[in-house]
Structure 1
């Protein structure tokens, strides 16, 4: 656990149930050759506040039509293929479960280009995919990037809305250099107030359940920091 992190057992329990359901659906899909946890879960450094990074390997024929499993339908989905090398796909999604947001980054790679990063935790592998000496970040940065898809103003606003709880996570951890709409020396109360104003700015334009979930998440942050 990050030393400054405050426990959030409710978040951890919701995320665990979501991951269990997602993993079961991935295993049941014959087009999925394997899946792995990346990011902090891949390295064993995850805490209660951690978001989810999933690397999914699919048959080449399914790459463009592949949609990640959704035991809970995402309220925000952004095409993030530009974050990976040419020939791969990526999505960033926010899910709302039990009134709280969960952010997941999906990296979707075809079998023909796949190798397991050195810093991932393989959940299952039906294809005998080799392990790479490169980390996921190094893999994603290798070669020519996949061209981005055009983003309209609604998608840009949705992405900013979805990232408000991600910024709140940094406040909960008291992470040095946490980015956000506040001065570096602001108190955590001021930081959360600034994030709440951002959420309220999206109240008319953003998905209502995402806005409400963001406020509920910041309530958890405030509770953790006030103990």
Structure 2
């Protein structure tokens, strides 16, 4: 682990993540335009805990880039895709990115897909390559440096409904930060529309997240809403057990 505090053990989350990842990697290996794949972020760098999300770097044939990130094209494994948004602005020109939420066993899993054409691709120094039959080259840059090289893709404006759906999907992300007792939790709660209370007890921050969920009840996304409530219930149970 790095200097960032890891969260308490939550084996159910780790099992869901592992099961999704095993199925999706198998699907990617059988996907003809896919050249290779690697874990990046905390999983790729060996810094993950049970609360960590998934960051995948997928290298595809240049001609397949546009179609590969089309709605419904990315593999969902055993999960139900409940949210996906174009996040290409998070990567350099000529690449694509999608942020998505899947639901497995009634709990949410956040996945950031980074899809790069083989002509521009290298494996970052801090990634974990899952498969690479063509021998994509390496770079000395870490993943953050790799993403921030050169000019970025332009931001694609989101509709108000898309923005609200994204905020709902980010509630469990705030819960993950709360599990780690990270100061980022207070900032994320504020971004979601709640109060900025960095000194508040975790019980109060959890209550703020539940109030925010009540505001999403009319959004028409019952599966995401139920999964977020289930995630916060698991978070509360885990933190009380840890404190006991």
Shared topology, TM-score over 0.5? yes
Single out whichever of 100-109 and 172-181 deviates more from structure 2: 172-181
* Distance in 1 (alpha carbons) for counterparts of 2:170 and 2:220: 12
- Contact 1:57–1:108 (Cα < 8 Å) also in 2: yes
Cα distance in structure 1, aligned partners of 2:233 and 2:176: 12
The question of whether the paired residues in 2 share the 8 Å contact of 1:55 and 1:107 is answered with yes
| Contact kept? 1:158, 1:206, Cα under 8 Å | no
State the Cα RMSD in Å: 1.2
The residue aligned with 1:68 is 74
Q: What secondary structure sits across from 1:91 in the alignment?
A: strand
C-alpha distance in 2, partners of 1:70/1:46?
Answer: 21
Match of 2:135 among 115, 128, 137: 128
| Secondary structure at 1:64 match in 2 | helix
Contact 2:80 2:104 in 1 (8 A): no
Q: Distance in 2 between matches of 1:198 and 1:176?
A: 19
1:224 positional shift: 1.1
Structure 2: 5+ residue stretches without partners: none
Q: Which residue of 2 aligns with 1:205?
A: 219
Task: Say if 1:186 and 1:206 are closer, same or farther in 2 by CA, change over 3 A.
Answer: farther
Q: Would you say 1:83 and 2:97 are equivalent positions?
A: no
Q: What is the CA deviation profile of residues 116-172 of structure 1, one whole-angstrom value per residue up to 9, with x for unaligned ones? A: 011110000022111111111111111111112221111111111111000000111
What is the aligned partner in structure 1 of residue 125 from structure 2? 118
Compared CA separation, residues 4 and 60, structure 1 to 2 (3 A)? closer
**Matches of 1:207 and 1:41, distance apart in 2:** 29
TM-score w.r.t. length of structure 2: 0.90
Structure-1 residue corresponding to 2:235: 221
Pick from 126, 142, 149: which aligns with 1:142? 149
Aligned to 1:195: 209
Q: Residue 206 of structure 1: CA displacement? A: 4.4
In 2, Cα distance between equivalents of 1:14 and 1:129: 29
Please state how far the C-alpha of 1:3 moved relative to its aligned partner. Answer: 4.4
Gaps of 5+ in 1: none
Write the distance in 2 (CA, Å) between the matches of 1:4 and 1:53.
Answer: 17
Match of 1:43 in 2: 45
TM-score by length of 1: 0.97
Q: Secondary structure at the match of 1:96?
A: strand
Cα shift at 1:4 = 4.7
SS at match of 2:207: helix
Q: Provide the C-alpha distance between the structure 2 equivalents of 1:108 and 1:50, rounded to a whole number of angstroms.
A: 20
Paired positions, count: 227
The correspondence of residues 177-188 of structure 1 with structure 2, limited to 5 A, is 177-178=184-185, 179=187, 180=189, 181-182=194-195, 183-188=197-202
After superposition, what is the alpha-carbon deviation per residue over 1:66-85, rounded to whole angstroms, capped at 9, x for unaligned? 03211223100010001101
Stretches of 4+ moved more than 6 A in 1?
none
Aligned pair partner of 2:160 in 153, 157, 162: 153
Deviation at 1:177, TM superposition (A): 3.9
